[in-house]
Structure 1
Amino acid sequence: MGTGSIVDHRVLVAVDGSPASLEALRVGARMAGLFGDRLVGVSVWQSFRHGILPSDSRHPEQAAEQLVTTSAIEAFRDGVVPPIEIEAVEGDPADNLIALSHFASLIVVGSRGHSGLSGLLLGSVSSAVAAHAACPVLVVHAPVSTPAAPVSELTVDQRIVVTL
C-alpha cells in the first residue's frame, strides 16, 4: 500500500447493477468473510447535467443507495444477504474508488459495468482503479451461467489468495 494509507478493514465493492457487479458483490462478501472485514457496497451518482432530471423523483444519492440494496438482494437471491454497509458518493466512479482505496483492505470491481458509452469504455473504471488504487484490487467477470459457490463449499484449491 502507498504511504499515507489508513486501512479501515473494509472490502469495498463497486456496484452499478450490472451482472459483473453482482458477481463482485458475491466475491466481495466471500473475501470480507475470509479477511474478517466489513463489506461495503459503493455506488456512485452524478449531478444533474444539462438540465436533464432523472426519471424518478428521488434524489440521485437515494437512488444510488437503493441500487446497492436491490443489487445485494439480486446477487444473493438464492441465500442470505450478508451484512453490507452502503456508501453512495457523487462524482466520477474511478476517481471515487481510487480515493476510497486509501481506507480499504481490498476493492472488488466487475470487469464490465454500465457505462454511458458502453461500446467504447467497457472496463475503463476497473482498469483505472486497478492501475491507481492504494490497496489490492480484484477484478471479476460476470458468471457465464452458474452463481458463485459459497465460501464454505470451496476447497482449498479453489480459493483465491491475494498476497502482497
Structure 2
Amino acid sequence: MTTETQIVKTGRVMVAVDGSPASLEALRVGRRLAGLSGDRLVGVTAWQPFRHGVLPPASAHPEEFAEDLVSNCVIAAFRGGVMPEIDIVAVEGDPADSLIALSREASLLVVGSRGHAGLSGVLLGSVSNACAAHALCPVLVVHAPGSVAAFSESDLLADRAGAVTL
C-alpha cells in the first residue's frame, strides 16, 4: 500500500516574513518573481503563543500581532515605492513546519537566510535549511542586503525569453 501526497499548485509566490532584514529582501525578491510569473504574492508568518514557558497576558492576540508584523514588513520593504498587492497568512505553529505544510499550495517559496544556527547554519538558517530540504515546491533562499551573498533587485533581471537570471 502506498500513500500519495496531493500537491496543489495555485500560482502563489509565498514569502516567509519574520521581520529580519533577510525577510524584507525576500519580500522584494518575491514581489519581483510574482510579477514576472503572474502569480499572487503571499506573505506568511508563523506564531507560537506559548514560548519559553511564558504565558501571554489575556489581552494578547498573537494572530493579530503576526498579521501586523507582515503588514509592517511590507511597508518597510517597499517604503518609497509602490506597495504590492499581497495576501497575508498568519498560522500557529513552528515556522519551518508551517512553511513546509503551506508549500504544497505554492508555486515558489521564498525565505530569508539569517544564518544564526552555528556551523551548519553558516550559509542557511535552520528554517531556510528545513524548507530547502523538505518543501513541496521550489525554494529560493535570499540573503539580507549587505551580506556576501546578497543581491539587489537590479541584479534580478528577466531576459528576452522571460527566464530569470540571478
TM-score (norm 1): 0.82
1:44-63 correspondence runs (5 A): 44-49=46-51, 50-53=53-56, 57-63=59-65
Aligned equivalents of 1:119 and 1:155: distance in 2? 33
**RMSD across aligned positions (CA):** 2.9
- In structure 2, the residue corresponding to 1:110 is in which secondary structure? strand
Where relative contact order (Cα < 8 A, 6+ residues apart) is larger, the structure is: 1
Q: Which runs of 5+ in 1 are unaligned?
A: none
Cα offset, 1:78, TM superposition? 2.3
Aligned length: 154
1:19-58 correspondence runs (5 A): 19-49=21-51, 50-53=53-56, 57-58=59-60
Say whether the 8 Å CA contact 2:13–2:39 is kept in structure 1.
yes
- In structure 2, the residue corresponding to 1:47 is in which secondary structure? coil
Q: 1:67 to 1:148 in 2, by over 3 A?
A: same
> What residue number does 2:75 align with?
73
Q: Which runs of 5+ in 2 are unaligned?
A: none
Q: 1:161 to 1:67 in 2, by over 3 A?
A: same
> What residue number does 1:124 align with?
126
TM-score (norm 2): 0.81
Q: 1:100 to 1:124 in 2, by over 3 A?
A: same
Aligned equivalents of 1:98 and 1:37: distance in 2? 19
Percent of pairs identical after alignment?
62
**Aligned partner (choices 83, 96, 99) of residue 97 of structure 1:** 99
Say whether the 8 Å CA contact 1:109–1:138 is kept in structure 2.
yes
**Aligned partner (choices 11, 16, 19) of residue 9 of structure 1:** 11
> What residue number does 1:156 align with?
159
